[in-house]
């Protein structure tokens, strides 16, 4: 009798993600017992007092929302960790590996709740703390003021009505969909004008590299097309040396046996934006991601990113 312990952050979204993965797993492996274990993260504990950058700096791995999960996995306290792929640093953690990405991928798009891009009044206040969202929103609506908000999705949504109200908030369709509150969405932003974060909407299933028994058990899971798309987007981000909070957007789509990747880098004030696209074979997503990154660099992405890191 095999027992597999699955680690999860405490939030409703994190637990919904674990359920989303576990449902099909329990059906496929009825002889395996899957258990959920909640592990608190620094990012969850410190949210009220510290800025996201401070939280990230305090966490050994540099990732506020995945460091403790990964340490619990390495220590054998859990056997699998389910992450939002976009929250996982591109740099691999020694001793851990990510399994092929499961499908289907949730909606990759960002959304506005409270207003649409065109209904936002001049000078409106929009809640978001993510550099990519701030930059891309300013590129489309330079008059808008962004207000840094953090925390779980439901309280962020609550900022539309509650104290310190904002006119709208920018969120991921995937998070709202998984929480069953997609009805709050006012507008889905077009991937062409508002490209999502690399890996958005996808889950990262992480295991110990040395856990051969589990790796063998789970060898057949994953959707090759979703996996390839996420790899292309993430390798583009990695080649740009971008972390999880840089203004880099990416979107890969497959058609037949080829993959199309579009990448965007935007300055924080929204005034400069470079884009590049390329096609490549489905079985070389890393090559495609690197090719688009090189093209973005040629068009000035390095200058934009250097200005932000400085
Ligand atoms: N950084 C927070 C985060 N991490 C994953 C999601 C949900 C979207 C996804 O799974 O890609 C969210 C919320 C948001 O960005 O609105």
Domain ranges of the chain: 2-104+200-222, 110-188, 248-309
User: Could you tell me if the CB of 111 is within 6 A of ligand 1?
Assistant: no
Q: Crossing angle for the helix pair 301-309 and 285-298, nearest 10 degrees?
A: 80
Angle (CA) 1-69-88 rounded to 5° is 115
Report which protein residue has its CA nearest ligand 1's atom 10: 201
User: What pLDDT is stored for residue 255 in this prediction?
Assistant: 94
**Active-site residue, selected from the candidate residues 109, 132, 178, 208:** 132
User: What pLDDT is stored for residue 64 in this prediction?
Assistant: 59
Give the CA distances from residue 141 to residues 68, 124, 171, 194, in Å, rounded to whole numbers and listed in that order: 38, 10, 17, 12
Please say if 109 is a catalytic residue.
no
Provide the ipTM: 0.94
Give the CA distances from residue 148 to residues 103, 129, 131, 134, 165, in Å, rounded to whole numbers and listed in that order: 32, 4, 10, 9, 12
Please say if 86 is a catalytic residue.
yes
User: What pLDDT is stored for residue 102 in this prediction?
Assistant: 97
Looking at the domain covering 2-104+200-222, what would its CATH class be?
Answer: alpha beta
What parts of the chain have a pLDDT lower than 50?
46-62
Judge whether 93 and 67 are in contact, CB under 8 Å.
no
CATH topology of domain 248-309: Double Stranded RNA Binding Domain (3.30.160)
Please say if 133 is a catalytic residue.
yes
User: What pLDDT is stored for residue 109 in this prediction?
Assistant: 98
CATH architecture of 110-188: 3-Layer(aba) Sandwich (3.40)
**Ligand 1 atom having least distance to the Cα of 203:** 10
pLDDT digits (tens, 9 = 90+) for 143-186: 999 999 988 999 999 999 877 899 999 999 999 999 999 999 99
Answer yes or no: same fold for 2-104+200-222 and 248-309: no
How many angstroms is it from 247 CA to the middle of ligand 1? 15
User: What pLDDT is stored for residue 173 in this prediction?
Assistant: 98
Q: Which of 156, 174, 184 to mutate to test the pocket of ligand 1 (most atoms within 8 A of CB)?
A: 174
User: What pLDDT is stored for residue 172 in this prediction?
Assistant: 98
User: What pLDDT is stored for residue 193 in this prediction?
Assistant: 96
User: Could you tell me if the CB of 127 is within 6 A of ligand 1?
Assistant: no
């Amino acid at each position: 009798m095999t027992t597999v312990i699955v680690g999860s952050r405490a939030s409703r979204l994190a637990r919904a993600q674990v359920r989303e993965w576990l449902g099909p797993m329990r059906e496929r492996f009825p002889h395996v017992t899957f258990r959920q274990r909640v592990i608190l993260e620094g990012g969850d504990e410190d949210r009220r007092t510290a800025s996201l950058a401070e939280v990230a700096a305090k966490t050994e791995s540099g990732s506020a929302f995945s460091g403790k999960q990964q340490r619990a996995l390495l220590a054998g306290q859990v056997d699998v960790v389910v992450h939002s792929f976009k929250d996982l640093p591109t740099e691999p953690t020694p001793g851990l590996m990510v399994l092929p990405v499961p499908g289907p991928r949730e909606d990759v798009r960002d959304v506005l709740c409270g207003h649409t891009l065109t209904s936002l009044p001049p000078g409106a206040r929009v809640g978001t703390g993510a550099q990519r969202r701030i930059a891309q929103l300013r590129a489309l609506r330079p008059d808008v003021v962004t207000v840094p908000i953090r925390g779980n999705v439901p309280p962020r949504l609550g900022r539309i009505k509650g104290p310190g109200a904002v006119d709208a908030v920018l969120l991921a369709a995937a998070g709202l969909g998984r929480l069953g509150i997609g009805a709050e969405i006012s507008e889905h932003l077009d991937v062409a004008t508002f490209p999502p974060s690399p890996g958005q909407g996808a889950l990262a299933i992480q295991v110990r590299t040395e856990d051969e028994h589990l790796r063998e058990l789970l060898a057949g899971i994953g959707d090759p097309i979703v996996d390839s798309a996420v790899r292309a987007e993430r390798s583009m981000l990695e080649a740009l040396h971008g972390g999880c909070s840089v203004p880099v957007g990416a979107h890969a789509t497959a058609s037949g046996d080829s993959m199309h990747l579009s990448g965007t880098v935007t300055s924080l004030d929204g005034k400069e934006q470079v884009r590049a696209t390329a096609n490549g074979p489905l079985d070389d997503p890393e090559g495609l991601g690197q090719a688009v990154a090189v093209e973005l660099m040629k068009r000035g992405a390095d200058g934009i990113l250097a200005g932000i890191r400085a």
